Amino acid sequence: MNKAQLVEAIADKVGGRQQAADSVDAVLDAIVRAVVAGDRVSVTGFGSFEKVDRPARYARNPQTGERVRVKKTSVPRFRAGQGFKDLVSGSKKLPKNDVAVKKAPKGSLSGGASTRTTVKAAAKKATAKKATTAKTAAKRTVAKKTTAKKTSAAKKTTAKKTTSSAAKTAAKKTTAKKTAPAKKATAKKAPARKAASRTTTAKKTAARGK
């Protein structure tokens, strides 16, 4: 049975040949897109479609027997469900007035509502982590800037205090220098006064002797 025959087989059940062709195209397209994206499409009772990665390996050319290097590749794989296997093996009989493979329960198809919910939850968690990381980085940056400002202010204050202390020390030294010469001059003048008093005393003694 090819695609055209498949469409004809289901045309009466879906309301016409065009509707059947659209339905077949839609189902096959959905399966192919899901498998290419790496998802597993599973239909209960029928089987599952999935993508399988094959590593690089060596194979032999069947015509020449030459050993050939085969690159890494990905291939689609279909695994029949247990219900499909039982019908093919004959352990179960095909129903006459019912579908061979019954409708799959809700959520059995990969990529259904449960999978979408999980993906959305993961996306929300990733966004929350990024926001938390950004806030933490911003807080660290503000803290660093505040510390730098405080350190700079402390350095300026210390420099001002040091400058003030140096100025006071220099003023004290200048005052001390000025005071020291004055004291020396006074000390030098003192012996002159003593000599004058001695001369006066000598004169008085001479006058008395006469």
The answer as to whether 78 is a domain residue is yes
SS percent in the chain: helix, strand, coil, step 5: 65, 15, 20
Domain of residue 23 covers: 3-89
Domain assignment present for residue 194? The answer is: no
Q: Mean pLDDT throughout 121-142?
A: 58
pLDDT above 70: residue 46: yes
- Please report whether residue 71 resides in a domain: yes
Non-local (6+) Cβ contacts of 45 within 8 A are: 81, 82, 83, 84, 101, 102, 104
Q: Averaged over 129-152, what is the pLDDT? A: 60
Which residues have a Cβ under 8 Å from the Cβ of 73 and sit 6 or more positions away? 53, 54
- pLDDT value of residue 112: 46
Residue 204 belongs to some domain of the structure: no
Higher pLDDT, 174 or 5: 5
pLDDT of 19-38, one tens digit each?
A: 999 999 999 999 999 999 99
pLDDT at 19: 94
Q: Each residue of 149-201: pLDDT tens digit?
A: 665 555 665 556 655 565 566 556 655 555 545 444 444 554 545 545 566 66
Rounded distance between C-alpha atoms, residue 115 and residue 137, angstroms: 33
Residue 207 domain-assigned (yes or no)? no
Contact between 47 and 81 under an 8 Å Cβ cutoff? The reply is yes
For 71-129, write each residue's pLDDT tens digit. 999 999 999 999 999 999 999 888 887 888 776 555 544 444 444 444 455 455 555 55
Collapsing DSSP states into helix, strand and coil, what is residue 70? strand
Burial of 96 (0-12, 13-18, 19+ CB in 10 A): exposed
Question: Would 17 be classed as within a structural domain?
Answer: yes
In a domain, 13, yes or no: yes
| Edge-to-edge strand ranges of the sheet holding 73-80 | 41-43, 47-54, 73-80
Among residues 140, 125, 110, the alpha carbon closest in space to that of 42 is found at 110
What does the pLDDT read at residue 94? 87
Q: Is residue 77, in this structure, part of any structural domain at all?
A: yes
| Per-residue model confidence (pLDDT) at position 66 | 93
Q: In this predicted model, which residue has the larger pLDDT, 209 or 61? A: 61
**Residue 26's pLDDT is what?**
95
CA gap 199, 170 in Å, rounded: 45
Hey, what amino acid is at 147? Answer: T
Element (H, E) at 53: strand 47-54
Q: How many domains does the chain have?
A: 1
**Residue 19 is part of a domain; what is its CATH number?**
4.10.520.10
- Tokens representing residue 79 in the block: 């695994």
